[in-house]
Structure 1
Amino acid sequence: MKPMSRRALLGGVAATTLALAACGNGVGSEGAAKLDARVDAALNYLDVNFPGTRDLQQKSVGMLVMPLITEAGFGFGGSYGRGALRVNGITVDYYSAAQASFGLQVGAQQYAHVLYFMTEEALAEFRASSGWAAGADVEYAVNDRGANLSAETTTALSPVIAVVFGQAGLLAGASVEGTKYSRIIP
């Protein structure tokens, strides 16, 4: 069997990402008002189902709320979604999130996530970048006790905390690591 070239791999990843971007995930054409309504609904869901996130929200200097991420894969995979950056409860920018992957994966899922920026420096770095990629510097607050969300002391001191929630589908393991966020105009 002939090994896959780097060009073929990148072409497959790009095609998968474009296909996901073209999927109607309910956000695209309705503009900013529709996106803000979805962000409000996602934050309300967190408040009701994970009351521990209220403390994160109050302590954060900004939040990137991605109310719907669609992820699919069959060998090549990717995810795409749109959301809003809120500072002091007000939307200041809109962002897209895209991720590409390759490996043993089959299925699709949808989920939501929020990035809590806990320091002014982390928020400023995110806003100044032309495309910010989530990496190892993002800490996760995990849902380990039913409806209670835990953020340990070390997590609470991290510059960026991620909360992934609302997973539905047949592809296991949602993560924001390796996701690239880019500013958009809805």
Structure 2
Amino acid sequence: MNTQKLRTLATVTAIAAAGALFAGCTTTRPGDSGTNTSSRASIDAQVDASLSKLYQTVPGSREMVAKSAGVLVFPSVVGASLGVGAEYGRGSLRTGGRTQAYYSTTAGSIGFQAGAQSKAVIYLFNTQEALTKFRNSKGWTAGADATVAVANIGANGSVDTNTVRQPVVGFVLTNVGLEAGVSISGAKISEVNL
């Protein structure tokens, strides 16, 4: 089996394992609308907090969000790994400052790694075309369905101007601030009903 096929098989296996691992993480029963309402309220509060942190951490980001066609925020993407890694998180898409829909993100990775971490991942859709393509998808993968330019801070302390011009821009925030040099390609994003 060639190396590319082996990597593809390993990635698919990791994503499937992540899905199975996180499938049991819900406490919501079918038809439990009270829990659904509290889940939506909790996610929305966490999205507000993540956007506030972004605005405090990245100069000019408030204006970037205001000008964007939409912003997708995953306030807590939790990753765990021991050789094979998996990440999962829930968030919401906002346009015009209002929540439009809720989404989940999953990703898998292979290689030497161990431990657990949590981060906020934020996608800015700078064009209506990019947002429409995302909304019309039945499962969107960063890097495959659209190139996502990961934001980095330039020497002037602001987001690099070449990054700002891209149709989709990603921000990864950790407890210490904006994470540079990280890849978010391969993250699978799907709409969820809450």
Letter matched to residue 172 of structure 2: V
Return the match for 1:142 from 138, 147, 152.
Answer: 152
Q: Which residue of structure 1 lines up, in the alignment, with residue 20 of structure 2?
A: 18
Q: Do the aligned partners of 1:66 and 1:83 also contact (CA within 8 Å) in 2?
A: yes
* 1:100 positional shift: 1.1
The unaligned stretches of length 5 or more in structure 1 are: none
Distance 1:143 1:32, change over 3 A: same
**Pairs within 5 Å for 1:86-125:** 86-125=94-133
Letter matched to residue 151 of structure 2: A
**Pairs within 5 Å for 1:146-165:** 150-165=158-173
Q: TM-score, normalised by structure 2?
A: 0.78
Instruction: Give aligned pairs, total.
Output: 176
CA RMSD of the aligned region, Å? Answer: 3.0
Deviation string, structure 1 residues 78-118 (Cα, Å, up to 9, x no partner): 10000000000000010000001222111111100110000
Identity %, equivalent residues: 40
Letter matched to residue 75 of structure 2: P
Return the match for 1:82 from 90, 97, 102.
Answer: 90
The unaligned stretches of length 5 or more in structure 2 are: 1-5, 27-35
Q: TM-score, normalised by structure 1?
A: 0.81
Q: Which residue of structure 2 lines up, in the alignment, with residue 47 of structure 1?
A: 55
Deviation string, structure 1 residues 42-64 (Cα, Å, up to 9, x no partner): 11112223232112112211000
1:68 aligns with 2:76: yes
* 1:144 positional shift: 5.6
Q: Distance in 2 between matches of 1:108 and 1:154?
A: 32
Structure with greater proportional strand content: 1
